[in-house]
Amino acid sequence: MTSKEQVGGVGENISLALLGRDRAPFIPAVFHDDVLVDRAVDAERWRAAVNADAVIVTQWNDGVEDAAGERVATCSCSMPTTVRKMVDALDVREGHRVLEVGTGTGYTAALLRDRVGPTGHVVSVEVDEGLARIARENLAAVGVDVQAVSGDGLDGYAEGGPYDRVFVTCGIRTVPAAWLSQAVTGARIVMPWGTQFMPSHDVLVALVKAADGSASGRFAEGLSYMKARSQRTAWPTFPEGWIAAARSGESDVPASTVDIGSVGFMPLVVGFALPDVMTTVLENDGSTTRYLYRNGSDGESCAAVTYADGSPTATYTYGPDDLAGKFIAAAEWFRDHGRPEPEGFGLTVTPDGQRVWFGTPYGPTSPKRPAAG
């Protein structure tokens, strides 16, 4: 039977072609794809969407149907091409014991089970009990033997370890020490990783655990995943009247240096130096202002950097942390080092924290910043 026959004659099945397994059994009968797609109403449209190389959102607002305000995607079946890149980076093999963090629909758990073979084992942990139940039903319906459990995947699942591979399907800001302790030496830990500076963008990283208990890996391409629920960050409310109380100043750094944009690799890389800083950019009458915010153990800090061609760069700093100065220093470092792309950097994680490095894990290093705890 051909792939086309297997999908009812509706185009090429990308998931089957790229990953060896049709994702259709893991997709709900009704979902939103710009508009409502209902298999019972329009089976051909439903199948075409499932066959495509596209994200299919399977849950909104953590499953709270009457949630007010903006609709936020909280579970999906990712693009097959993206899943393929992540699975390839994992390098999972027959006989491996694999921990998956974020079961979602159960589709990637099934793919991992396909690859570990009869002598391997897959444990998949899902924080949302409703999603975990649906995933178990999906897996059972296609006869895939995965240990799918409800729980916080950031704690790992010690009973199933130690693991040869850890596969993470949600965006991570701080890598949990549990993943290191539950992995064998030489294990690969694959995840989307990023900073608060660019909350909607991550980079793919495959960490390899060393004998000393640390794990390191170089960043690969950019991608965007929903964040782990306990590591989500809501945009803050700035302290009332902070601009009036801010320390003002001027910098001779030109607009061309601090103008790093708000999309693409430039703000992503600058954010490596400011991982716990949130930022937004506003334009007004020919000038641009970048706002920065950090809520640290020493209190709230805010800053604004306003720039325009031909004018001095103005800074406004409030709170204990000089966010304006740190942002300008990071932007200067980025320009001075030839505007390096994310692939020039990597991540090292230890049981005590994590750090981003530039070049190699041993130096040179990224802009001055302490290891994150």
Q: Which residues are catalytic?
A: 78
Neighbouring residues of 307: CB distance < 8 A, sequence distance ≥ 6: 254, 255, 258, 259, 287, 288, 289, 313, 314
How many angstroms separate the CA atoms of 187 and 98, rounded?
10
Q: Which residue has the tokens 């306003």?
A: 306
Give the CA dihedral 353, 354, 360, 361, nearest 10 degrees: 10
| Radius of gyration of the chain measured on its C-alpha atoms | 23
- Backbone phi, psi, residue 114, to 5°: -55, -40
CB 292 within 8 A of CB 323: yes
Amino acid at 200: S
What's the rounded Cα separation, in Å, for the pair 51 and 273?
Answer: 40
Which residue in the block uniquely carries the two structure tokens 């966010």?
A: 323
Helix (H, G, I), strand (E, B) or coil at 131: helix
Assign 63 to helix, strand or coil.
helix
d(CA 336, CA 148): 48
Give the position of tokens 């980076």.
89
Let me know if 248 is exposed, middle or buried by CB neighbors in 10 A (0-12, 13-18, 19+). exposed
